[in-house]
Amino acid sequence: MFTNDPQTSPPAQTEDVDQRLKAIAYSLDCLIPGFYCWLGPLRVRLGGSLPESSYPGTIHSKLGVAIVLPGYRIYSTYHGEHDPR
């Protein structure tokens, strides 16, 4: 493997993106009120919560938007599962 290979990404950056996506999945799974958006590498979470360290879930979609309102109302473009594959 070459060090200047553009196909590789630093592990810290990939891990950070995965943690942000895991936080969105956790918040959706627990129905914590907030606005969530994930568009490729861009992750936006307004509200919600950080996941527990033992939470294994993630989102299996590259694009999506979700709004969770108080009273457990959820409106989401994502209809998949949060379980790891």
Give 28-67 pLDDT, tens digit per residue: 999 999 999 999 999 999 999 999 999 988 888 899 999 9
Nearest-angstrom CA–CA distance, 14 and 79: 24
Closest CA to 65 of 41, 31, 39, 84: 39
For the chain, what are the domain ranges? 11-76
Strand partners, 33: none
Rounded to 5 degrees, what angle do the CA atoms 47, 39, 54 make? Answer: 55
Strand partners, 38: 43, 64
Beta-carbon contacts of residue 5 (< 8 Å; ≥ 6 apart): none
The model's pTM:
0.75
